[in-house]
Chains A and B, each alone.
Chain A
Amino acid sequence: MERRAAAPVAGVGLIALAAATLPLITRDSYYLDVATTILMNLTLTMSFRLQVSTGQINMAHISFMGIGAYASALLVTRVGLSFWATLWLGALVAALLAVPIGSVALRVSGPYYFLITFAFSEVVRLFFNNFFEGLFGGPSGLVGIPKPGRLLGLVFDGKPALYGLMAVLCLIVVVALVRLDYSRFGLTAGAIRQADLVAETLGVNVFRYKLTAFVLGSFVAGLAGVFFAHFRQVLHSSDFGLEPMVLLVVFTVIGGTGSVWGPVIGTIVMTLASELLRELHHYEILVFGAVLILTMLFAPEGLVALSGAARRRLRRLRGRAPAQAGAGLAP
């Protein structure tokens, strides 16, 4: 992974450009809805991949989105705070809860970590579903969440305005996470993923690194959750259950977890695909499963690595360079 200074700037610029031009092309509320969903999913997948980059597959990532969502919804409806305060407070609540939870879960690794976070996510979902029904709305969901209030004279009642808000949030997240990935943090995270014990003997406090990624990722997930709550205006515990979590994993893995750009490609492609496959209803997840299997078989490094792989194959066909061993997927 060669770290060039031009790549992050170009990548972020491209995303910003795409996000800015879309409302100029169409004001159709359906397309804006899809685009908003893409951006929201992007903040989730990129913050998920931040954790994958240190070797953790956090199956409770979606729960921190839920925690941010419920926290903000309640702070607005019960306490009367402004959305613009709860936007950050909700994310903060998710991050603060991530500290003790991460500290416990990160004592183990590999499949155990996967299981412990999965168990936690079920606890969170059942908690929202079955406890404090007066507060969380129970099985019928939490309704009546207001849209964001005015800010600096801007009104956020229509799709274009909400799209714009999500675009700004998403770009802040993208810039922050891309910068992080191209920094010493990103290099060290890669070292942990590829050989954590070696990284530890070289002086890396692996546990603290993983916890930092966990808490930071949870903050971003919480941020996405807050937006989600006031965008949809209805919350249901199943919004943060296993199925959306699996989709989050699928989006990220199909894009490729080895690069910070993987989730970008995966999210755009897969969100569009899921809109196109909408008519298949419940079979949609089957198609995703098949796509995931095909990706694992034929492009284990994800869609983002396809161009490099194609170039290598082409070169080999022309016989210019000897066959080079692929870098492979991180173990």
Chain B
Amino acid sequence: MLELTDLSVHYGNVAAVDGVSVTVQAGEIVAIIGPNGAGKTSTLRALSGLVRPSAGRIVFRGVDISRWRAHRIVTLGLSHAPEGRRLFPQMTVLENLRMGAYRRRDGRAIERTLGEVLERFPRLGERRRQLAGTLSGGEQQMLTIGRALMSSPTMLVLDEPSFGLAPLIVREIRTIVESINRDRKVAVLLVEQNARMALAVAARAYVMETGRIVLSGPAAALRESPHVKAAYLGG
């Protein structure tokens, strides 16, 4: 479904991503883990069209989107929940969700998706008229994911969904990701520093360090890898 081949991203002369290859099959949950500054977010920025890759290809559902501008990519069914819970803080919860369906024109289907999203996140329903900037961290993360679902995607990209959240909320987010994947057959590409959470939810994972993939394989196998244990799971 998604294929990144030898992808590189440069900022000036500095390579943030250096020949990375990642694949995600339809309906699969795949994680990319790695420390801060490993190039995970740059990989996603290239994927979403916010930066041009300096080399390599990005193919989504058979279409080469390496040179596409960001606003077109969502029309193929690839949806992003950006890092740092980037919402429209002065808009209500409902307006944020509606912006997620920006590219859709089918009014009744949008209402149906809205109903599903509010059912999945009852707390967003309770706060639908509240300004997004006044939500708690966990609620903001849920709104970010809910907004990404509003485009009715076939693949969801989550950038650091657990960042800065309490363990209990992280567990809740994890359950939600799993249920989205299960109910809607949405493929998920999860980028995380929280390796424990990522390896628990993903079927396969890639370990990224200084712009390269250093390890990859089934999540279960990576959980047993000495390198991953030592570096990411605390021994």
Binds B, one of A96-104, A203-211, A260-268: A203-211
Whether B39 is near chain A, meaning CB under 8 Å from some CB there, is no
Other than the given A201-B73, A201-B74, 17 more pairs (CB < 8 A) read: A1-B90, A1-B91, A1-B92, A188-B102, A191-B88, A198-B87, A200-B70, A201-B71, A202-B147, A202-B151, A203-B72, A203-B102, A203-B151, A206-B71, A325-B133, A325-B134, A327-B131
By the criterion CB–CB under 8 Å, are A194 and B89 in contact? yes
- In the complex, A21 has a CB within 8 A of chain B: no
Q: Given the complex, which residues of B lie within 8 Å of A190, measured CB to CB?
A: 88, 90-91
Pairs A-B, 6 closest by C-beta atoms: A203-B103, A203-B74, A200-B70, A194-B88, A327-B90, A203-B102
A198: contacting residue among B69, B72, B82, B151, CB under 8 A:
B82
Are the C-beta atoms of B75 and A203 separated by less than 8 Å?
Answer: yes
Asked if A330 is at the interface of the complex by the 8 Å CB criterion, the answer is yes
A-contact 0/1 string along B64-106, CB 8 Å cutoff: 0000011111110000101000111111100100111011000
Known A194-B90, A324-B134, A330-B90: A202·B74 in contact at CB below 8 Å: yes
A187 touching B89 by the CB < 8 A rule? no
**A188 adjacent to B99 (CB under 8 Å):** yes
Residues of A within 8 A of B70 (CB): 197, 200-201
Chain A residues whose CB sits within 8 angstroms of the CB of B133 once the complex forms: 325, 327-328
Cα A154 to Cα B102 with chains together (Å): 47
A interface SS class: loop
| B88 x A2 contact (CB < 8 A) | no
Q: Could you pull out 17 A-B pairs where Cβ atoms are within 8 angstroms?
A: A190-B88, A191-B88, A194-B90, A195-B86, A198-B82, A198-B86, A198-B87, A199-B99, A200-B49, A200-B70, A200-B71, A201-B70, A203-B103, A203-B151, A205-B71, A327-B89, A330-B90
**B74 to A, closest residue via Cβ:** A203
Contacts of B229 in A (CB 8 A): none
Indicate whether B193 reaches chain A with its CB closer than 8 angstroms: no
Residues on the A chain within 8 Å of B87, using CB: 195, 198
Q: Does B50 contact A (CB under 8 A)?
A: yes
Q: Is the CB of A198 within 8 A of B50?
A: no
Q: Does chain B have a CB within 8 A of A241?
A: no
The yes or no answer to A258 lying at the interface (CB within 8 A) is yes
Q: In the assembled complex, which residues on chain A have CB atoms less than 8 Å from the CB atom of B102?
A: 188, 199, 202-204
Provide the residues of chain B in CB contact with A200, threshold 8 Å.
49-50, 69-71
